[in-house]
Structure 1
Amino acid sequence: MVTETPNLFDHADTAVEKAKPVDPLMPDRHPQHDLFICDVADAVLKDMMAHMEHPFYSLSKKPEVNIRRYEHNGNWIEITPSVKGLATIYDKDILIYCISQIMAKLKYGEEVSPRVRINSRDLLVFTNRGTAGKDYAALVEAIDRLAGTRISTNIQTGDEEQYDTFGLIDTASIRRKHGLDGRLLWCEVKLSDWVFNAIRSHEVLTLHRDYFRLRKPVERRVYEIARKHCGSQDNWKIGLSNLLKKTGSQSPLKRFREMIRDLAAYDHLPDYSVTFDPDSDMVTFLNRGTMHQLVEDQSWRGHLDAEAYHDARLVAPGWDVRMIEYAWREWLGENEIEPKHPAKHFIKFCKSWYEKRGPA
C-alpha cells in the first residue's frame, strides 16, 4: 500500500508523526536527470556566519508568524514572516526551480534575468509532485509566503556596520485560465537582488534529485545540513540537540531522537548514510561517495604556477593557500566551472575568501 503523497507545499513538521510509511521515500513520479541547484540560505550565511546553519524556512504545519533572530560573532540576522506565515521548506521548491533554470542558462552562456517565467506543470513535475487542482492552488499560496518573508541582517567590515533588508522574491504575476476549472497556466516571479546576485556569483550547491522524494520536511532540512557541513568529507559528527537547533524543528528532543533513529534504520537519506549513538546522542553522517564522485568528475584538474600561489598569499595573508585551493577546486567541480584564466580566478577566489572571513 502506498502512502498518499503530501500536497506540494503542505508544510508539516512530521518528526512528531508516529505512523511510518512502507517506503521512506516517495515514488519517483517523473524520472529526470540530476539537478544543479542553489541553496539560497547557504549562499549568504556560509561565509557571513561561519560554522552556523540557520533555518530560514518553516517546518511547521501551522503558519509561523513570529520573528526569528540569530546572532554569531557580532553578526545577526532576522527573518520576518508576513501575516500569512513564514515561507516553508516546500515553498523553497519554487526558488530551487527558478535557480536551476538560471544556472542552466549560465552554464551554456545564455543571458539571464532575475525575472523567471514558470510553467506551472513543469514546476510540479520538476519537484516530483502531483498535478491536481489542489497542487496548483497550493503554488499560489506558496508564492504569497515567499513574497511576504523579509530578511534583515548586518554586515560588519572593519569599523563599519552595514544594515540590509531584502526579500526572497520581489514581485510575482500569475495567469489563470477563465472557465470552470480556473486552471493555472503560468506565473512569473522576480527574484530579489540578494538571490540573483548569489546565483551570478555561483554560490550554489548540487543536491541529489531524491531530495524531492523525502517525505518529511525535517528530513529535507537534515539533508541540507549534512550537504553543507559534511560536503565531500568522509564523515561529519554533530550532537543531537545541536542538530535539532539547526533544523529549526519545533519538535521536542524526544520526538526528534525517534526521527533520527528511523532515519538511521531506513538509511534512505541521499548522499549520506546516518548512524546514531544513543549513549552519547551523537549523529554521524557518512559520505556514500555519490556527491564526491560527481565533484571529482567535474573538477578542473589543471596546475597553478608558483606565481599564482605567491599572489594568493598576498591577498589572503595568514591563510594556508593550499587549503583554500582545495576549497576552490571543490567549488569549481560542484558548479561545473572550467576557468578560462585559472590563476586569476584562483587569486580572486582567495581575495574573496579573505574579505569574507578576515585574518586566519
Structure 2
Amino acid sequence: MATKRTKKGKGEPDEAIEVVPRSAGAVSSEGVTVLEEDQELIDLMQAAAADDGEEDLDVGPEQQELFIPSTPPTDLNVKDDVRTMEFPIFTLSKRKDLRIREYSRGGRTVKVFPSVAGAANIFDKDILIWIMSHLAQANGQGKPTSRRVRVESHAFLKGTKRSTGGAAYQRIIDTCRRLKGTVLETNVKVTEQESTAGFSLIEDYRVTRSTKKGDGALEVEVTISEWMYRAVIDYDILTMDPKYFQLSQGIERRVYELARKHCGDQGYFKIAIDQFREKCGSSQQMKFFSNDLRKIARADTIPGYRMVIDDQEKPTNVVFLNRDNQVLLAFAKNRGQIQWVTRMLEKHGAEKKKATRKAAESSGKQA
C-alpha cells in the first residue's frame, strides 16, 4: 500500500506523545498470523460508492425519518465499523491537517480529501462511533432505525468520557464540519469502464438546539453516509472496549483499532513495523514512530492487549498479546509458540520495570 503525503515537516513527529502508565497484568503466548488483505475492504468501499445515485437498496430493517437514541450512555455497547478501523481515514493529530492522502493496492485507490476546515481526525470519529453504537443496539432489538440520528450533546460528551464544559459544545459543531467536509474518493469499475466516485463521512448535519450564545450545539441531527449505515445493518462492526475513549493520544487510539481489528479475540498477532506504520496512517519518520510505539508499550495503555516491540527479528515486529491468560496460553500451545510468547512477556515486563524505575527517579529529582 503506497502513501502520498504533502505539507509536513520532514521527519517531524505527528504530535508529541505523553502516556500515563497503568498497572501491568499477566499472561503468556506467540505465533505468526497472516495479515488480512486490504482488498476486501477496498472492494466494500467501492461498492458503497458505486451505489451512489442509484435506487436505495433494501437494507432489511424498517427505516424511519429520524432515529432518536433511547439507551442510557452507561448501558451502551460501543461499536465501530470494520472499514474505518482498517483504513487510516482519520488523521491522528488534532492540529488542522490539509494533506491529501492516498492509499493504493492492487490497482485500487482510496484518496482522502480534506476541506478548508481540515481533515476529520480520529477524535472526530467519536460521534460516528456513538451513532453506530446506538443504531447497532436498536437494529439488534429489531427496532426501526434511520441514517438521520439525533445526538443529544450532553449524553454524547458523558458517554465518550469528554468534558462537558462550554467549549465542548462548540467543538461538536467543528467536528461536524470536518466530517462533512472530508471526502473519500475511490476508483470504481463498472463493466469495463473505470470511473471515480466520492462520498463524505457524513451527508449533512443540523443544529436543532443551540447554547445561549448560539455558538455551540446542545442537540444536533446528523445524517451518516449510506456505506456507514449499511455496515451497521449488515453487522460489519466490532465491539470496542469503552476504555478506548480514555485514550488521549491519536496514535494510541489508532493502535487499539488495529489491535482490535487484527488480533481480536485470538491469543496474539504480529506485524512488521513498517507495514504497521502505513496502516496507522502516520507521516512520521520511522525513528519517531518507533519511539512513540515504545512509549505506548511501556505505559501499557492499550485496552485488552499488551504491546511489545520485537526487534530481535528482522524486520522489527509490533506484537499484540491478548490480556486474557487462558486465551493466550491456549493459542500459543496450539501453535507451538510457548517459548516465543514467554520471551515476549518477559520483554514486556522488563520494559514496564524500566519505565517505572525512570518515573521513580524523575519524581525523586523533582522532590
Q: TM-score, normalised by structure 1?
A: 0.67
Identify which of 287, 300, 325 aligns with 2:322: 287
2-structure distance, mates of 1:235, 1:158: 41
Q: What is the match of residue 329 of structure 1?
A: none
1-structure distance, mates of 2:307, 2:209: 44
8 Å contact kept, 1:276–1:283 = yes
Task: Indicate yes or no: 2:59 matched with 1:17.
Answer: no
Report the alpha carbon displacement of residue 88 of structure 1 after superposing the two structures with TM. Answer: 0.5
Within-5 A mapping of 1:33-112: 33=75, 35-39=77-81, 41-42=83-84, 53-112=86-145
Report the alpha carbon displacement of residue 18 of structure 1 after superposing the two structures with TM. Answer: 5.7
Q: Which amino acid aligns with 2:220?
A: C
Moved more, 266-275 or 96-105: 266-275
1-structure distance, mates of 2:325, 2:151: 30
1-structure distance, mates of 2:76, 2:226: 27
Report the alpha carbon displacement of residue 251 of structure 1 after superposing the two structures with TM. Answer: 2.6
Identify which of 172, 182, 205 aligns with 1:149: 182
Moved more, 281-290 or 196-205: 281-290
Task: Indicate yes or no: 2:158 matched with 1:125.
Answer: yes
Q: Which amino acid aligns with 1:254?
A: K
Deviations 1:59-108 (A, max 9, x none): 12431222211111121111111111110000000100111111111011
8 Å contact kept, 1:67–1:78 = yes
2-structure distance, mates of 1:15, 1:166: 26
2-structure distance, mates of 1:180, 1:200: 38
Q: What is the match of residue 270 of structure 2?
A: 237
Deviations 1:132-178 (A, max 9, x none): 01111111100000000111113447756464321111110003446
1-structure distance, mates of 2:216, 2:101: 36
8 Å contact kept, 1:168–1:194 = no
Secondary structure in structure 2 of the residue aligned to 1:118: strand
8 Å contact kept, 1:121–1:131 = yes
Secondary structure in structure 1 of the residue aligned to 2:238: coil
Task: Indicate yes or no: 2:155 matched with 1:113.
Answer: no
Aligned residues: 267
Task: Indicate yes or no: 2:251 matched with 1:190.
Answer: no
Q: What is the match of residue 165 of structure 1?
A: 198
1-structure distance, mates of 2:144, 2:327: 30
Task: Indicate yes or no: 2:302 matched with 1:269.
Answer: yes
1-structure distance, mates of 2:147, 2:242: 24
CA distance 1:192–1:21, shift in 2 (3 Å): same
2-structure distance, mates of 1:290, 1:188: 43
Report the alpha carbon displacement of residue 21 of structure 1 after superposing the two structures with TM. Answer: 3.6
Q: What is the match of residue 357 of structure 1?
A: none
Per chain length, whose mean CA-contact separation is higher, i.e. which structure has more relative contact order (CA < 8 Å, sep 6+)?
A: 2
Q: Which amino acid aligns with 2:258?
A: I
Report the alpha carbon displacement of residue 266 of structure 1 after superposing the two structures with TM. Answer: 2.2
CA distance 1:136–1:237, shift in 2 (3 Å): same
Secondary structure in structure 1 of the residue aligned to 2:260: helix
Secondary structure in structure 2 of the residue aligned to 1:60: coil
CA distance 1:105–1:181, shift in 2 (3 Å): same
Q: What is the match of residue 252 of structure 1?
A: 285
Structure 1: which 5+ runs fail to align? 1-12, 25-29, 44-52, 294-360
Deviations 1:182-216 (A, max 9, x none): 65320001111121122211111111111111121
Task: Indicate yes or no: 2:74 matched with 1:32.
Answer: yes
1-structure distance, mates of 2:189, 2:122: 29
Task: Indicate yes or no: 2:258 matched with 1:225.
Answer: yes
Identity %: 34
Secondary structure in structure 2 of the residue aligned to 1:205: strand
Moved more, 223-232 or 275-284: 275-284
2-structure distance, mates of 1:253, 1:231: 26
Q: Which amino acid aligns with 1:36?
A: V
Secondary structure in structure 1 of the residue aligned to 2:168: helix
Report the alpha carbon displacement of residue 35 of structure 1 after superposing the two structures with TM. Answer: 2.4
1-structure distance, mates of 2:19, 2:78: 30
Deviations 1:3-39 (A, max 9, x none): xxxxxxxxxx986526554659xxxxx9934623122
Report the alpha carbon displacement of residue 241 of structure 1 after superposing the two structures with TM. Answer: 2.0
2-structure distance, mates of 1:71, 1:171: 28
2-structure distance, mates of 1:162, 1:292: 46
Q: Which amino acid aligns with 2:320?
A: F
1-structure distance, mates of 2:152, 2:215: 15
CA distance 1:78–1:269, shift in 2 (3 Å): same
8 Å contact kept, 1:271–1:290 = no
2-structure distance, mates of 1:56, 1:134: 26
Aligned alpha-carbon RMSD (Å): 2.9
